[in-house]
A = this chain, B = another copy of it.
Amino acid sequence: MYFTSERRLDGDVLEREFILGEIPGILWTPGSASTSKSATATDSGSAPAPAPLILLGHPPLGLRKMYPRLVDRARHFAAEGFATATIELPGSGDRPRRPAAERACADLRRAMEAGEPVTDQIVDALVLPLVDEAVPEWRTALDALLSLPEIGGPVGYSGGVISIGIRLAVVEPRIVAAGLFAGSLVPRAMFEEARQVTVPLHVLLQWDDERNDRQAALDLFDAFGSREKTLHANMGGHTGVPRFAGDDAARFFGRHLK
């Protein structure tokens, strides 16, 4: 992993773009967990305490397109003392295209526009290969991020494609809490994986999400094996998550990562 750019945002958040192998990503660190260069400029001269890390998930629309929402979440979490990081998903942004995924995406669009049911085949083709490819990349990113002195554990995962969050929560022991967004299509196979999730969960549901089946989202919440799981449902469509719901999510991570 090497950094390609660095700038300081309002509110004392350091934003650094990085490249990990061929995967671009962004790391945001709060003021108190700045680079070693800044740390030596402090009065005490001692390194600041490492910040707990939250991985920011996102839909496969490309980091550039998602940037405004990602940086908003990053600032929100930084204000609570969390570092956040994200990487480009397979097939998104400038990464090599995935023809099979694009065909599945076209099939999905066609079905939805025709008002036809979205079949299991479409959902599986759209999501399962993405999960299989993305999860090892996020774990590699985690290795690299946790090697930085300004980043500490424990680690949370927040938002994005819920199936990626489920798989990560099952296979990655360094993730100790997950805030998931019940806003994407979920293959049936993921319900079985959901039963294996045991970390504390905070699940957001937009009650009138036009892209999501509410009952399926409730069934998925029911399936999670975690003893502590909370569902926060709010009114409005897919992108209408109210501001206070973000505050609740930050408090959830505060309870489990600090």
For this complex, into which size category does the number of interface residues on chain A fall? 20 to 34
Interface of A is mostly: mixed
The interface residues of chain B lying within 8 Å CB-to-CB of A248 are 248
Cβ contact within 8 Å between B244 and A235: no
By the criterion CB–CB under 8 Å, are B218 and A229 in contact?
no
By beta carbon, the residue of chain B nearest A234 is: B230
Whether A207 contacts B232 by the Cβ 8 Å rule is no
Residues A222 and B207 in contact in the complex (CB < 8 Å), given A228-B235, A233-B231: yes
Flag whether A227 is at the interface (Cβ < 8 A): yes
A244's partner among B221, B233, B251 (CB-CB below 8 A) is B251
Q: How far is the CA of A226 from the CA of B245 in the complex (A)?
A: 17
* Closest residue on chain B to residue A215 by CB atoms: B218
Hey, which chain B residues are within 8 Å of A230, CB to CB?
Answer: 232-235, 245
A236-254: CB near B (< 8 Å → 1, else 0) gives 0000001011011001000
Report how far A216 CA is from B139 CA in the complex, Å: 41
Q: How many copies does the complex hold?
A: 2
In the complex, the chain B residue whose C-beta lies closest to that of A232 is: B232
Residues of B within 8 A of A247 (CB): 251
Min CB distance, A221 to chain B, in Å? 7
Which of B226, B231, B251 has a CB less than 8 Å from the CB of A232? B231
7 new A-B contacts, CB < 8 A, other than A207-B231, A218-B218, A230-B233, are: A207-B222, A207-B229, A228-B235, A230-B232, A231-B233, A232-B232, A244-B255
Q: List 26 A-B contacts (CB under 8 A).
A: A207-B222, A207-B229, A207-B231, A218-B218, A221-B233, A226-B235, A227-B235, A228-B235, A228-B242, A229-B234, A229-B235, A230-B232, A230-B233, A230-B234, A230-B235, A230-B245, A231-B231, A231-B232, A231-B233, A231-B234, A232-B232, A233-B233, A244-B251, A244-B255, A247-B251, A248-B248
